[in-house]
Amino acid sequence: MDLAFVLYPRMTALDLVGPYEVLAHQPGVTAHFVAETTEPVVTDAGLVIVPTTTFAALDRADVIVVPGSSDYEGVLAAGVVARWLREVHPKATWTTSVCTGSTLLADAGVLTGRPATTHWAVRELLGRLGAEVRSERVVRDGDVITAAGVSAGIDMALTLVGLIWGDRVAMASQLAIEYDPEPPYDAGSPESAPPEVVAAVLGKV
């Protein structure tokens, strides 16, 4: 089973690494890190990731994982990822996104008229791009699964493992990574965070 993890400049590392750690350890999986070129990609926080193949060379995958970016507007404007997604999505068994990666799926026409989620700060944009916006942490519509902001990529990946390999394997994967969050603050959504914290985050996105 070929998994394509999409790379591009200023992507958010955890959007990719979280799903990768869940999915890449499953049986029969071959992971590909695909980008426009094989030059190292620098994420928005400075982590450097080296692609293993290019958009031109990889024209299909069983599973596609599209991470988001703090520079989502710039990535949308470039159009490179969306062009590749238009080609490969029809051939994939599953197409997924994390955080603002859903805006790239929408720009490629994958989410037109379909329910999808994204980071809470860009829900309005996702709606303008043609999706039916939901606020759930993970939304599945047929062969497309979208996750909300950053850390929700782990939830998305566990959902996908359950669909492909079964619930027992998904539960074992959750236990293996000890995914049992107990955050020290109740500020993980705009509804629970103090208004001044929400305003501060909005000022950065």
Q: What is the per-residue DSSP string for 7-75?
A: --TTB-HHHHHHHHHHHTTSTT-EEEEEESSSS-EE-TTS-EE--SEETTT----SEEEE--BTTHHHH
Task: Report CA Rg, the chain.
Answer: 16
Amino acid at 33: F
Confidence (pLDDT) at 131: 98
Q: Residue 204 has what pLDDT?
A: 78
Q: Is 99 a catalytic residue?
A: yes
The two three-digit tokens of residue 73, written as one number: 């507007």
Name the active-site residue from 7, 99, 126, 170: 99
**Which domains does the chain carry?**
2-202 (3.40.50.880)
What is the structure's pLDDT at 143?
98
What is the pTM assigned to this prediction?
0.96
Mean pLDDT calculated for residue range 100-122: 97
Sign of the dihedral defined by the CA atoms of residues 108, 120, 133, 94, in that order: positive
Phi, psi for 45 (deg, rounded to 5): -105, 5
pLDDT digits (tens, 9 = 90+) for 149-193: 999 999 999 999 999 999 999 999 999 999 999 999 999 999 999
Cα 117 from chain centre:
10
Q: Which residue do the tokens 């208004």 mark?
A: 195
Q: Tell me the pLDDT tens digit for each residue of 18-29.
A: 999 999 999 999
Structure tokens at 47: 């982590």
Tell me what percent of the residues of the chain surpass a pLDDT of 70. Answer: 100
Contacts (Cβ under 8 Å, ≥6 apart) of 125: 72, 103
| Cβ atoms of residues 22 and 79 within 8 Å | no
Helix (H, G, I), strand (E, B) or coil at 150: coil
| β-pairing verdict for 144-147 and 138-141 | antiparallel
- What is the rounded (10 degree) CA torsion for 162, 90, 65, 61? 90
Task: Judge whether 55 and 35 are in contact, CB under 8 Å.
Answer: yes
